[in-house]
A and B are shown apart, each in its own frame.
Chain A
Amino acid sequence: MSEITDTLETTAENPVAGIDQTSGNFKYDMTYDFDAGTGLSDRTVDYISAVKKEAPWIREFRQNALKTFQSKPLPTHWATKDLENINFDKIRYYLSQGLKPKRTWDEVPEDIKRTFERLGIPEQERKFLAGVEAQFDSEAAYSNIKEAVAKQGVIFMNSTEGLREHPEIFRKFFGKVIPTGDNKFSALNSAVFSGGSFIYVPPGVKVSHPLQAYFRINAENFGQFERTLIICDEGSELTYMEGCTAPKFSTATLHSAVVELVALKGAKIQYITVQNWSSNVFNLVTKRGLAHEESEIKWIDCNIGSRLTMKYPGVVLKGRKARGEVISIALANDGQHQDTGAKMVHAADETTSTVVSKSISVGQGRATYRGVVHIPRGLKGCKNNTECDALLINTNSRTDTYPSITVRGDRHAVQHEASVSKVSADQIFYMQQRGLTEGQAMSLSVNGFVNDLARQFPMEYSVELKRLIDLEMEGSVG
């Protein structure tokens, strides 16, 4: 028997379900068909590559990435020192089989069951999420979608399969939007990635339904080092949704995904994430899109939970009249730090970017916004609009905004607005006077604060987001 929840010393309570992830009763007995063991070396990387039967170029790519990872320092000169608490030697970098848990549904704590109930999570997924079932078997649903979109020529598969079956497309774009050495964690991902999606949409094809990673939850995909690559060919359109709003009772404490999007001329990509990590997780994700002429890339990103999230979705506006947009909502509860933002790199004339960020800090929670808008000399007619709003739920919460805007030349329109507001005692009293409990009053305030953004989400996501906020806020008033 082994325990994989012990990469961190600190005890972290999950505020959503009140589950102590590090306490003794959350252990699994595991047998893995393939297991790279703990720690990271070139042997680990070779092992992963061998298990996946990868082509030599990929193996080489991984090995180079490993070197980059090892040579790069942690970015603690600007980011939080908490990163230093990640013990890279204790992490398992590859698990191919699901967990074989020994606990039964009866042993799952009542409050977790209630949480699932409240979130309206289907029976079978509950078992998986609670660690009762090793696999969430949704292959059937997944292959239906896969077949349906295949009729339009859309390729939608696991990135491992993508590499094997479509190397010609994969290789052309892979690692081009986010180079290995972009940051220490993109290098780590490049060395040990597995899971994630590969999507190619042919020219002119408009995928009518959003594709969802949600259908493909399994041990690998649930994983720590997903790699997603999405290419929308000229004039095509796609909406992709990832994540699931159920609290992830993750057994792994480091999640470091890389997502690359490529929108060719006139294409439109919308990438939606709603994530609710348990509060022992470091969630360090690199997401970027490359927008060609007249194309549009939009990131909608909701981050709830985790110990530390660092995520700054970006768009490189490479072609004339390309548009980029980031909409993000972050909720930092006690003991959590949401360090999020956006990066907009203008690299062509008449490109437009928009950033709207809303953060909520509760109790000791901390929300940081970092934004980069870069418009180099020599371009004309570029526009950026940035708006960051922070909501503080009590006086202990802190929020920081670090916008960095470099605009060279004077033929551009750039706007930046920031606001910090508080839920005041009078506001809570007003709502309580109408009969709402303190928790209900708080969640109503928070939902009101994010309301204009949440309305842009697909229906089921905004409903789930609301439920999540309710749960978080109820928990926060004890």
Chain B
Amino acid sequence: MSSLEIKNLHVSTGDKEIVKGVTLTINTGEIHAIMGPNGTGKSTMAKAIAGHPDYTITQGDVLIDGKSILEKESDERAREGIFLAFQYPSEIPGVSIANFLRAALQARMAEGEEIDASGYYKRLYQKMDLLKIDRKFTSRSVNEGFSGGEKKRSEILQMAMLEPKFALMDETDSGLDIDALRIVSDGVNSLRGPNLGILLITHYQRLLSYIVPDHVHVMIDGRIVKSGDKSLALELESRGYDWVKQELATA
């Protein structure tokens, strides 16, 4: 079992503090959902953990199996098992999904080792079938001209291929119609298992009825203000974030 520990994490961009002391431990095998209104700092936290250069960690630590990863470049963190499914994935014109994923896998191999091309394609097609992605998709440039749903599916495909230890999934449900949501959720559920820990970021409970979390946390204004099990998500759905805010105010 591996663990991703987030300890008293503070994140700023420019002079502005956005994440204000988050503590959370995710073990492989677990799914944690973070819910919260727009602009609370959910994406900022995920990107800071992944090592985005725009964000500065001013306090706290992030550790994998007890070892801090903050000194490492984002690509090293990725190779150690952190995967970020982006809320807004970037386009890479002229680079096909197949070549991109191949390069990403190749980057994980020892020097002198070469990826086995036929094995690679076999695995790729298998994962694509799982996510109901057309074969033609592999030759399209990464995220270029993709619909919202295609982008999300492509993120999950990459996750399936790269087999991370910890996946930070940022608003994976946004922009998906109900059919696409089901396909993506089925895909994520099939990856679920003892070797993967997931942090599921969303502001709708909708996703959580497809991907059922073990723990639910509510994030407001850069802090986790409430944690509970999956029933918390339902409660939030019926009572809204104002309920949590009011609770906070009276506390």
Give A contacts to B, CB under 8 Å. Answer: 421, 424-427, 429-438, 440-441, 444-445, 447-452
Task: Write out the residue numbers on chain B whose beta carbons fall within 8 Å of the beta carbon of A437.
Answer: 73, 75, 107
Inter-chain CA distance A424–B90, complex, in Å, is 9
In the complex, B191 has a CB within 8 A of chain A: no
Contacting residues, chain B, for A435 (C-beta < 8 A):
75, 78-79, 104, 107-108, 162
Q: How far is the CB of B129 from chain A (nearest CB, A)?
A: 22
Contact at A444–B92, with CB atoms within 8 Å?
yes
A-contacting residues of B (Cβ < 8 Å)?
Answer: 47, 50-54, 73-75, 78-79, 82-84, 86, 89-95, 99-101, 103-104, 107-108, 141, 158, 162
* Cβ of B180 to closest chain A Cβ, rounded Å: 21
Beta-carbon contact of B92 and A425 below 8 Å = no
**Contacts beyond the supplied A431-B100, A451-B95: 15 A-B pairs with Cβ under 8 Å:** A426-B90, A429-B47, A429-B52, A431-B104, A432-B51, A433-B78, A434-B162, A436-B104, A437-B73, A438-B75, A440-B103, A440-B107, A441-B75, A444-B103, A448-B92
A447 to B95, CA, bound (A): 8
Chain B residues with Cβ under 8 A from A449's Cβ? Answer: 93-94
Query: B74 near A444 (CB under 8 angstroms)?
Result: no
Assess A430 versus B92: contact at CB under 8 Å? Given A425-B53, A435-B78, A437-B75: yes
Chain B neighbourhood of A430, CB < 8 A = 86, 89-90, 92
Residues of chain A contacted by B158 (CB below 8 angstroms): 434
Q: Determine how close the nearest CB of chain A comes to the CB of B159; give it in whole angstroms.
A: 10
Contact call A452/B89, Cβ cutoff below 8 A: no
Instruction: Check B54–A425 contact: CB distance below 8 A.
Output: yes
Q: Evaluate contact between A433 and B74: CB separation under 8 angstroms.
A: yes
Measured between alpha carbons, how far is A425 from B51 in the docked complex, in Å? 12
A412 to B2, CA, bound (A): 68
Query: In the assembly, what is the distance between CA of A438 and CA of B73, in Å?
Result: 9
Select one of B74, B95, B162 contacting A432, CB under 8 A: B74
B57 to chain A, nearest CB (A): 15
Given contacts A436-B107, A437-B107, contact A427 B91 (CB under 8 A): yes
Q: In the complex, what residues of B have CB within 8 A of residue A450's CB?
A: 94
In the assembled complex, how far is the CB of residue B102 from the closest CB belonging to chain A, in whole angstroms? 11
A431–B78 alpha-carbon span in the complex (Å): 10
Contacts of A427 in B (CB 8 A): 90-92
- The main secondary structure of chain A at its interface with chain B is helix
Q: Could you tell me the distance between the alpha carbons of A429 and B92 in the complex, rounded to whole angstroms?
A: 12
18 contacts between A and B (CB under 8 A): A425-B53, A429-B51, A430-B90, A433-B75, A433-B78, A433-B82, A433-B83, A433-B84, A433-B86, A434-B104, A434-B158, A435-B75, A435-B108, A436-B107, A444-B92, A444-B100, A448-B93, A448-B141
Q: How far is B95's CA from A382's CA once the two chains are assembled, in angstroms?
A: 35
Task: Collect the chain B residues with CB atoms within 8 Å of residue A433's CB.
Answer: 50-51, 74-75, 78, 82-84, 86
Asked whether, in the complex, the Cβ of A432 is within 8 Å of the Cβ of B141, the reply is no
Nearest Cβ in chain B — how far from A156, in angstroms?
36
> Bound complex: CA of A430 vs CA of B91, how far in Å?
9
| B54, B78, B90, most chain A CB atoms within 10 A | B90
Q: How far is the CB of B175 from chain A (nearest CB, A)?
A: 18
A445 contacts across to B, CB distance below 8 A: 92, 95
Chain B residues in 8 Å Cβ range of A434: 78, 100-101, 104, 107, 158, 162
Verify A452–B94 contact, CB threshold 8 A: yes
Q: Please measure, in the bound complex, the distance between the C-alpha atom of A444 and the C-alpha atom of B94, giving whole angstroms.
A: 9
Contacts of B93 in A (CB 8 A): 421, 448-449
What is the distance, in angstroms, from B152's C-beta to the closest C-beta of chain A?
Answer: 14
Q: Contact between A429 and B95 (Cβ–Cβ < 8 Å)?
A: no
**Is A429 within 8 A of B53, CB to CB?**
yes
Contact across chains for A448 and B50 when beta carbons are under 8 A apart: no
Q: Which residues of B are found within 8 Å of A440, using beta-carbon distances?
A: 103, 107
Q: How far is the CA of A286 from the CA of B58 in the complex (A)?
A: 57
Whether B75 and A448, one on each chain, are in contact in the complex, defined by CB atoms closer than 8 angstroms, is no
Would you give the shortest CB distance from A402 to chain B, in whole angstroms?
A: 25
Q: When the two chains form their complex, are residues A436 and B94 in contact, meaning their CB atoms are under 8 A apart?
A: no
> Which of A431, A432, A438, A452 contacts B92, CB < 8 Å?
A431
Q: Is the CB of A432 within 8 A of B75?
A: yes
Q: Report the separation of the CA atoms of residues A432 and B93 in the bound assembly, to the nearest whole angstrom.
A: 16
Chain A residues within 8 Å of B99, by CB: 444
Min Cβ gap A335→B in Å is: 26
> Smallest distance from the beta carbon of B216 to chain A beta carbons, Å?
25
Q: Is the CB of A429 within 8 A of B74?
A: yes
Q: Which of B50, B84, B103 contacts A436 (CB 8 A)?
A: B103
A454 CB to closest chain B CB (Å) equals 9
Residues of A within 8 A of B107 (CB): 434-437, 440
Closest-by-CB residue of A relative to B47 is A429
Q: A444-B100, A448-B141 are in contact. Are A436 and B75 (CB under 8 A)?
A: yes
Closest beta carbon of chain A to B148's beta carbon, Å: 16
User: Which residues of chain B are within 8 angstroms of A429 by Cβ–Cβ distance?
Assistant: 47, 50-53, 74, 90
Query: In the complex the two chains form, what is the Cα distance from A427 to B95 in whole Å?
Result: 12
Instruction: Report Cα–Cα, A450/B53, bound state, in Å.
Output: 27
A395–B104 alpha-carbon span in the complex (Å): 26
Q: Using Cβ atoms and an 8 Å threshold, which residues of chain A touch B94?
A: 447-452
Closest CB of chain B to A451's CB: distance in Å?
4
Inter-chain CA distance A278–B177, complex, in Å, is 55
Q: Which residue of A lies closest to B79 (CB)?
A: A435
- Chain A residues contacting B91 (CB-CB under 8 Å) are 427
| CA gap between A430 and B158 in the complex, in Å | 12
Tell me the complex Cα distance, A451–B108, Å: 24
Q: Contacts of B82 on A, CB cut-off 8 Å?
A: 433
Q: A431: which B residues are within 8 A, CB to CB?
A: 92, 100, 104
